[in-house]
A and B are shown apart, each in its own frame.
Chain A
Amino acid sequence: MPGKSFIHRIDARAKIFLLLMLLVFIFVCRNFVSLAAISLFSLIIILMTKIGFIKYLKSLKYILAIIIFTGILNLFYGSGDVLWQWQFLKITSGGVNNAIFITIRISVMMMVSSVLTYTTSPTDLTDGLEWLMKPLKLLGVKVHDIAMVMTIAIRFIPVLLGETDKIMNAQKSRGADLESGNVFRRVKALVPVLIPLIVSSFKRAGDLAVAMECRCYNGGNGRTRMKIMRFTFTDVIALIISVLIFGTVIYFNIVYPAVI
């Protein structure tokens, strides 16, 4: 989502790096005080993007099942006072602590990850990743190729979605029943949708390859870029603030007893 906030203006490479660090530090938290600190920090970042908070809450719905599952599972682990027991299943105070902790942790992680995708254009993102993966070149990883594949994949997602829709309608108009029956039936009914989709994707890929060749593409050798990524003062500020926050988390971790 386009915007001009402080978070939007951070260089994609810095943003990816800082996000990774933030995710690591969300995991580093051992007690509620440090978790509260990092959650507050994340909340401030989220509000700074000036994209509605509702949008971020919506991003949670994709992993709602995972959050509930891990939350319930964690209830039964841990030690402490037994609050409820049924045969071998027992809920302890420690388990309740764990469940709350894990739920907050996963939710915050998901929401800050959305910050990256909401505030960075796909091209900046792939360019940033390409730059960050550069060291892997020494190991023989074809970094440019991976970035190009990602760019094309992102570009073709809406195209292929549209195509899927068209094929589904075409099959429905010939009497295909895609919507009734149990799961197995429905999966089976998708085969006549998937096969034309795969065939046409290959055709598209061939076409695209020719079009790219026509425009002198030869695998990134001697290729330059129109947009140059630059680290700016904004990135330095973001880095300093992040380091301060991460330091605070470590401090709280040491000072207060660990609960998890």
Chain B
Amino acid sequence: MNDFIRVENVYFRYDENEKNSNYVLDNISLCIKRGEFAAIVGHNGSGKSTLSKHFNSIYLPTLGNVIIDGLNTKDEAHVFDIRKKVGLVRQNPDNQIVAGIVEEDVAFGCENLGLPPEIIRERVECALKAADMYEYRTYSPDKLSGGQKQRVAIAGIIAMEPECIVLDEPTAMLDPQGRDEVMNTLLRLNREAGITIVLITHYMEEAVLADRVIVMESGKVLTDGTPHDVFSKVELLKKNRLDVPQATELVYRLKSCGFELPECVLNEEECVRALVSLIK
């Protein structure tokens, strides 16, 4: 089976008693493959965070099913198996760190799994190295910057050796440098360790780095495809008040002025190359 996460016709609303209220998730179906790096983008209130909480049975669908590696999130017997497979990192790093010392916090998940101490130690060191936080292992979290704290939170999830990490706007509270640190860590984990990554984000510059971009709008999937596919639909995105990366925007505007440029560029480098070849 190649689909790691399968979302089948999911409807969700917070209060099941209020029959008239709108669904926060409105008939969503999508599949995320093993080893894929998928980005989910959309406005506040588009349902992207809510969807992310369905991936490890924090929320259960009102209608429809979420299947994680063959396990239905509605099945209570599998809740811990699912949470072992899918780690969730959330927005505010301060509210995810439990222990007063970095390495002890990273160990927290493994301790909950009931692993023997030597194995926990090994995994914690591995995870800290993977998140590039090894030299900070004896620090207290409040001595760290936002980006570092978020990497500690990610290390805490890595140590549990999940097959998939879901990140709900992990960079929203970070400065640009912290954002880069976190993104580089994620890309490395995906490329080197083959961990499936689902990144929920506001920043189109981050979404561009993914293998696949899913755009959500008012509880529905607006469009879904490779970054090239998605960001070539500049008009559709604009109509829904969504940004596109600056480089994409520039090329789009130049093209609408009649310049001959490629269909879609995603980053500064491609943009420069396109402009250079145009000038020549």
Residues in A lying within 8 Å of B, measured CB to CB = 121-123, 151-152, 154-155, 158-159, 162, 204, 207-208, 210-218, 222-228
Stretch at the interface among B60-68, B95-103, B185-193, B198-206: B95-103
Q: How many residues of B contact A (CB 8 A)?
A: 41
| A207-B95, A216-B80, A226-B121 known; A122+B100 contact, CB < 8 A | yes
* A213 in contact with B160 (CB, 8 Å): no
Considering the complex, give the chain B residue whose CB is closest to the CB of A228. B117
* B100 in contact with A224 (CB, 8 Å): no
- 8 Å CB contact of A151 from B90, B99, B107, B141: B99
| A159-B142, A207-B90, A226-B121 known; A216+B109 contact, CB < 8 A | yes
| A123-B99, A152-B98, A208-B98 known; A217+B120 contact, CB < 8 A | no
B263 within 8 A of A: no
A-B contact pairs, 11 of them (CB 8 A): A123-B99, A159-B94, A211-B98, A216-B113, A224-B114, A224-B115, A224-B120, A225-B120, A226-B104, A226-B117, A226-B124
* A210 in contact with B90 (CB, 8 Å): yes
Given contacts A214-B87, A215-B112, list 18 more A-B pairs with CB under 8 A: A151-B99, A155-B100, A158-B142, A207-B92, A207-B95, A207-B96, A208-B95, A208-B98, A210-B90, A211-B88, A213-B83, A214-B157, A215-B87, A216-B113, A217-B108, A218-B80, A226-B107, A226-B121
B146 within 8 A of A: no
B111 within 8 A of A: yes
B219 within 8 A of A: no
Distance between Cα atoms of A216 and B113 in the complex (Å) = 7
- 8 Å CB contact of A214 from B56, B92, B124: B56
* B111 in contact with A223 (CB, 8 Å): yes
Which DSSP category, helix, strand, loop or mixed, fits chain A's interface? helix
Give the shortest distance, in Å, between A207 (CB) and chain B (any CB): 4
Considering the complex, give the chain B residue whose CB is closest to the CB of A154. B100
* A213 in contact with B58 (CB, 8 Å): yes
Which residues of the partner chain B approach A215 to less than 8 Å between Cβ atoms? 83, 87, 108-109, 112, 156-157, 160
* B156 in contact with A227 (CB, 8 Å): no
What 0/1 pattern do residues 107 to 139 of B give for CB contact below 8 A with A?
Answer: 111111111110011001000000000000000
Distance between Cα atoms of A87 and B68 in the complex (Å) = 85
Which residues of the partner chain B approach A158 to less than 8 Å between Cβ atoms? 140, 142
Distance between Cα atoms of A150 and B58 in the complex (Å) = 25
* B98 in contact with A216 (CB, 8 Å): no
Ranked nearest first, the 4 interchain pairs of A and B with the lowest CB-CB distance are A215-B109, A207-B95, A211-B96, A226-B107
Distance between Cα atoms of A253 and B97 in the complex (Å) = 50
Which residues of the partner chain A approach B141 to less than 8 Å between Cβ atoms? 155
- 8 Å CB contact of B83 from A123, A207, A216: A216
Which residues of the partner chain B approach A208 to less than 8 Å between Cβ atoms? 95-96, 98
Considering the complex, give the chain B residue whose CB is closest to the CB of A219. B112
Considering the complex, give the chain B residue whose CB is closest to the CB of A148. B98
Considering the complex, give the chain B residue whose CB is closest to the CB of A209. B95
Distance between Cα atoms of A211 and B83 in the complex (Å) = 11
B74 within 8 A of A: no
Which residues of the partner chain A approach B179 to less than 8 Å between Cβ atoms? none
| A211-B90, A216-B84 known; A223+B98 contact, CB < 8 A | no
* B112 in contact with A217 (CB, 8 Å): yes
Considering the complex, give the chain B residue whose CB is closest to the CB of A212. B98
Distance between Cα atoms of A210 and B50 in the complex (Å) = 13
Distance between Cα atoms of A218 and B174 in the complex (Å) = 30
Which residues of the partner chain A approach B160 to less than 8 Å between Cβ atoms? 215-216
* A225 in contact with B117 (CB, 8 Å): yes
| A204-B95, A226-B107, A226-B110 known; A123+B84 contact, CB < 8 A | no
* A155 in contact with B124 (CB, 8 Å): no
Distance between Cα atoms of A50 and B140 in the complex (Å) = 22
Give the shortest distance, in Å, between A218 (CB) and chain B (any CB): 7
* A211 in contact with B95 (CB, 8 Å): yes
Which residues of the partner chain B approach A213 to less than 8 Å between Cβ atoms? 58, 83
Which residues of the partner chain B approach A159 to less than 8 Å between Cβ atoms? 94, 142
- 8 Å CB contact of B101 from A123, A212, A216, A224: A123
Give the shortest distance, in Å, between A144 (CB) and chain B (any CB): 12
Distance between Cα atoms of A212 and B90 in the complex (Å) = 11
Give the shortest distance, in Å, between A162 (CB) and chain B (any CB): 8
Distance between Cα atoms of A217 and B114 in the complex (Å) = 10
Which residues of the partner chain B approach A210 to less than 8 Å between Cβ atoms? 53, 58, 90
* A224 in contact with B116 (CB, 8 Å): yes
Which residues of the partner chain A approach B84 to less than 8 Å between Cβ atoms? 216
Which residues of the partner chain B approach A211 to less than 8 Å between Cβ atoms? 88, 90, 95-96, 98, 153
- 8 Å CB contact of B98 from A151, A224, A228: A151
* A218 in contact with B98 (CB, 8 Å): no
Which residues of the partner chain B approach A225 to less than 8 Å between Cβ atoms? 107, 111, 117, 120
